[in-house]
Amino acid sequence: MENLQAMIERYKAEMMKAASRSALPPQESVQPAPPEPAPVPVPAPPRPEPPPASAPSPQPAAPAVPPPPLPPDEPEINPPEANPQDDPLQPIAPEADTYENFLRENTKTGILRVQAYAGRQAVPVPGAQVTVSRTFSDGTKEFASGVTDENGIFDNIVLPAPDKALAEAPTGEAPYATYDIRVTHPGYRTEVYQQVPIFDGIKSIQPVRFLPDRSVS
């Protein structure tokens, strides 16, 4: 019995030893974790540049105020060229007559040519408007009107005139008829010639010298 008991005890001891060995798991070798790499510094994103200050928008320039226009030139009045000392016919002033009486007393005709130019008679002015008139006690009557040609000439204007025999018999009556001539053209000053004499059977030439109109820019 003692041997059996001893065997049991020895068996129990071995079993306990074996159990103690199997209860503990085998130790695994634990490798130390590699050190984490040092963080790489990330450069901060560049700060956005502030937008450039916008230049002030240019203010629109005030519109130029044109100078006030010059007043239109008054017509240039050209009185009779001869004076009483040079021409014995000029002192005879035309009588304030009626239109009908004038035609009754001026049964003959004379011829008038109007020649318009600019500068020193070197540049003819075509297209100038010519008006020939005479003032009577009963109003102003127009005898002829037209325009100058490419040579600046308005020609063969037939006008009533007294008989040339009056020049041979000094009766106190003028041996000619007088007319007013008005000549206009855009860009030039209006020219007016007063008391231009017209003789029976004679062609009279009236030169017209145009000057620039200062009121036209």
Give the pLDDT confidence of 160-193 residue by residue, as tens digits. Answer: 999 988 777 766 678 899 999 999 999 899 999 9
Q: Are 135 and 178 in contact (CB under 8 A)?
A: no
Q: Are 112 and 198 in contact (CB under 8 A)?
A: yes
pLDDT at 97: 83
Cα separation, 132 vs 135, in Å, equals 11
Cα separation, 211 vs 191, in Å, equals 9
Residue 93 phi, psi dihedral angles, 5° rounding? -75, 140
Query: pLDDT per residue over 97-111, tens digit each?
Result: 899 999 999 999 999
- Domains of the chain, by residue range, sit at 84-210
CATH superfamily of 84-210: Immunoglobulins (2.60.40.10)
Most confident of 24-33, 69-78, 96-105, 194-203: 194-203
Query: pLDDT per residue over 52-97, tens digit each?
Result: 665 556 666 666 665 555 455 555 566 655 444 444 444 445 555 8
- Chain center to CA of 42: 68
Q: How many residues does the chain have?
A: 217
Q: Which of 121, 124, 105 is nearest to 175 (CA)?
A: 105
